Amino acid sequence: MAVETTTAVQNAPSLVIKPTRGWGRLALGEVWRYRELVWFLTWREVNGRYRQMALGPLWIIIRPVVEMILYSLVFGRLANLPSDGMPYPLFTFAAILPWTYFSDATTRSVSSLVRNISLISKVYFPRLVIPASSVVAGLIDLAIAFVILIGLMVFYGYAPGFAVLTLPLYLLLAACTALGVGLWNAALAVKFRDLQIVTTYGLQAWMFLTPVAYSASLVPEGLRVFYQLNPMYWVVEGFRWGLYGGGQGPQLIMLAPVGLVAFLLISGLFVFRRTERTVVDLL
Amino acid sequence: MSDVAIRVEGLGKRYRIGGQQQRPTPIVQAVRKTLVSPLSYFVSTLREPTTEETLWALKDVSFEVDHGEVFGLIGRNGGGKSTLLKVLSRITEPTEGHASILWPSQR
């Protein structure tokens, strides 16, 4: 929405409401002014998710642990896949953590507008706040599940080096990827609710394209160039690298997927801004 | 001296109807329709709406409200009262025209 805010001069318009032509501006400054709402919605999302559940927030821990046990049994024991010489549970858990965060953040931000329809249709605020808080909310789950990871590291006797300080950067890459995918789909998901189902399947396929349950060394040399275009490859491998010196550390070729994510995010912001203006009319 | 708080000029809001609301059809018909043209909904949302599919909830609305003025907005069901308020509260964007919200002037 085209909004011009001016200081309170003699009867000068403080707000002009008119149709926006073309793509409009991003107005990220306005999102910043509404940052308190991001925190509030994040808190609501975290708090509301485990209401009316017998085990409540314990699920944050149970989910990745059950996944780790399943992968360890099926891929580690049964299929006997290599884990770069690491204990398989630790090998896969180091990847499950960032992957779960990414997949949750994406799913939640895609469905965020649809879920918050009652809020959107009643009061004005920059709509960007909604998918953004979905992405932030996942960080709290991640922080809690991290305790299990520390336990596993102690149990298997691995201590991280200074490389562990790069983890927030990898997390940022995962968050930007999730937000980019989320922004593109959130506004469209209001019109085509099918996108929520598509996202589920898309993420499932994406997970198999990312070395979460298997080692990247299984991928044929010739395909690696394409394989490494996946930003989540770098996040997952970066986590392993930062935590116990395995996986794949940062390389120059990483700039390609980072650029890809930047493009996804910026174009997503514009698409979202364009659709948010009249998204209420579709409800 | 008048002290305008809200100034609305030539405001219009066009809604698209028909594409969304489909009459409840028997399940057999619904299945047949899905099989014959599975993308019909998708296609219908892409093309420009025809005149029968659009509804002007507001057209050429202009008025001024002063600060402190009690302003009554009366109309029939579906007359566009809520639409006007939704546009003024920035929940949705108008299709044409513009509205200004003004601070009270310092006296």
A263-273 pLDDT tens trace = 999 999 998 98
pTM: 0.85
Share of chain A above pLDDT 70, in %: 95
**Per-residue pLDDT at A36:** 93
pLDDT confidence bin for A9, thresholds 50/70/90: very low
Inspect the interface and report whether the beta carbons of B105 and A3 lie closer than 8 Å: no
Which residue in B45, B95, B103 is closest to A14 by CB distance? B103
B67 and A CB contact within 8 Å: no
> What's the gap in Å between the CA of A176 and the closest CA on chain B?
27
Rg of chain B over CA atoms, in angstroms? Answer: 20
Interval A85-113 mean pLDDT: 93
Closest CA to B86 of A257, A173, A180, A283: A283
Lowest mean pLDDT among A110-119, B14-23, B29-38, B53-62: B14-23
| Preferred mutation among B53, B64, B90 to probe A, highest tally of A CBs within 10 A | B90
Which residue in B93, B101, B106 is closest to A20 by CB distance? B93
CATH numbers and ranges of domains, chain B: 4-101 (3.40.50.300)
* A·B CB contacts under 8 A: 67
A190 and B CB contact within 8 Å: no
Cβ-Cβ contacts under 8 Å for A59 (sequence gap 6 or more) = A50, A53
d(CA A65, CA A53): 18
Closest CA to A41 of A139, A142, A131: A131
pLDDT tens for A30-78 read 889 999 999 999 999 888 888 878 887 888 889 899 999 999 999 888 8
Residues of chain A contacting B103 with CB distance shorter than 8 Å: 8, 11-12, 14
ipTM: 0.72
- SS3 annotation, chain A: CECCCCCCCCCCEEEEEECCCCCCCCCHHHHHHCHHHHHHHHHHHHHHHCCCCCCHHHHHHHHHHHHHHHHHHHHHHHCCCCCCCCCHHHHHHHHHHHHHHHHHHHHHHHHHHHHCHHHHCCCCCCCCHHHHHHHHHHHHHHHHHHHHHHHHHHHHCCCCCHHHHHHHHHHHHHHHHHHHHHHHHHHHHHHCCHHHHHHHHHHHHHHHCCCCCCCHHHCCHHHHHHHCCCHHHHHHHHHHHHHHCCCCCCCHHHHHHHHHHHHHHHHHHHHHHHHHCCHHHHC
Which residue in B42, B90, B92 is closest to A281 by CB distance? B92
> What's the gap in Å between the CA of A240 and the closest CA on chain B?
43
